[in-house]
Each structure stands twice: as C-alpha cells, then as structure tokens.
Amino acid sequence: MGYPEKVLAAGEHVVIHRRPHWKRLLGPILILLVVTAIAAFGAGYVNTTDWDETAVNIVMIVIGVVWLIIVVWLVLWPFLNWWTTHFVITDRRVMFRHGLLTRSGIDIPLARINSVEFRHGVLDRVLRTGTLIIESASHDPLEFQDIPQVEQVHSLLYHEVFDTLGSEESPS
C-alpha cells in the first residue's frame, strides 16, 4: 500500500515509503510470548487447585484482565505506533509522520537539505537498517532511526537532492 495521495501536492510522486524496521517489534513480540506463557501457567495452576468454583473463576478473570492490559499496553500500542510511522521521500520533499492518537510530522523540502548521512552498528548492518541523519538549512540535524535499507535510502535521497537542485555535482 502506497502513502496516501491526499497529502501529496499536485504532480508530486512518492519515490520511497518506509516504516521503521521490524526490529522495533522484537521487544513487543517477546513480551507477548512471555506474558502469554505466564498467564497460561497461572491459569493451569489455578485449574489444579481444589478452590471453590467461584474463586477459580474470579482468579481466571483477574489473570485474563491483567494479560489483556499488559498486551494492549506493551504489545498492541507499540505495534500501532510502528504501523502509523511513515518515512516518505517524494520528488519534492522528505516527510516523516508518526503517532496514533496525536499525529505529528515534519516536511523538509529537498532544496533545503544540506547534507545526508547514515550510521549503523554491527547489528544494524546485519539487519540492514540504521539511522538516517538529514541536515537542513534551517534546523539542527534530524535523526530518523531504524530506517530499513538505510544505505539505499541515503543514496536515493542524495541523488534526489542533487537532481532537484540541478547541480553540476549531481551524479549521473
């Protein structure tokens, strides 16, 4: 699915659209597995007790509610935040949008970009992700973390900036 056309200007085209790298979801997935295992163990233990049926039902409901609260807070919420975060490069600007209930974002016209860098450590290199750093004419450098295929995005953005400027330095 492409980035919504309604936010683009007339004649503007999306060059690349990325969400943060899937590694951001590893923690929530691990939490889901651990919390589910603990809840299942707790429910299994409660079923083996000789407690009154009403007490067993109440404890099972408590286990279910605690499991649900933890899953919504530490699994579903981070997933929805990941899903609603967009890093988009068009032929005119770089857009970054994030947030579920409260949305925020920034647009950087390509003509205002002074430099583009990327940074990634060993694990990021293995996962083919990293941090993209964009320095614009009017702001401190902006860091966009966990950009998938950061080297490819860096190169593409570099080419787009120079193509937009019509610079003689533009790589062919």
What averages of pLDDT result for each successive group of 10 residues across the chain (172 residues)? 73 92 96 98 95 95 98 96 94 92 90 91 94 86 94 92 64 46
CB of 146 closer than 8 Å to CB of 77: no
The predicted pLDDT at position 60 comes to 97
CA distances to 99, 148, 152 from 28, rounded to whole Å, are 17, 19, 27
pLDDT tens per residue, range 66-102: 999 999 999 999 999 999 999 999 999 999 999 888 9
- Residue 147 sits in a domain whose CATH number is 2.30.29.30
Mean pLDDT (the chain) is 90
Please indicate, yes or no, whether the overall pTM of this predicted structure exceeds 0.85. Answer: no
Domain annotation covers residue 13? no
The predicted pLDDT at position 98 comes to 93
The predicted pLDDT at position 5 comes to 74
Domain-terminating residue out of 81, 97, 125: 81
Answer yes or no: do 66 and 119 share one domain: no
Domain annotation covers residue 170? no
Range of the domain at 57: 26-81
The predicted pLDDT at position 2 comes to 55
* Total structural domains within the chain: 2
Residue 41: strand, helix, or coil: helix
The predicted pLDDT at position 136 comes to 86
Domain annotation covers residue 8? no
Strand partners, 90: 14
Domain annotation covers residue 127? yes
The predicted pLDDT at position 140 comes to 83
Answer yes or no: do 77 and 138 share one domain: no
**Pairing label, strands 14-18, 113-119:** unpaired
Question: What is the C-alpha to C-alpha distance for residues 124 and 147, in angstroms, rounded to an integer?
Answer: 10
The predicted pLDDT at position 171 comes to 47
The predicted pLDDT at position 1 comes to 45
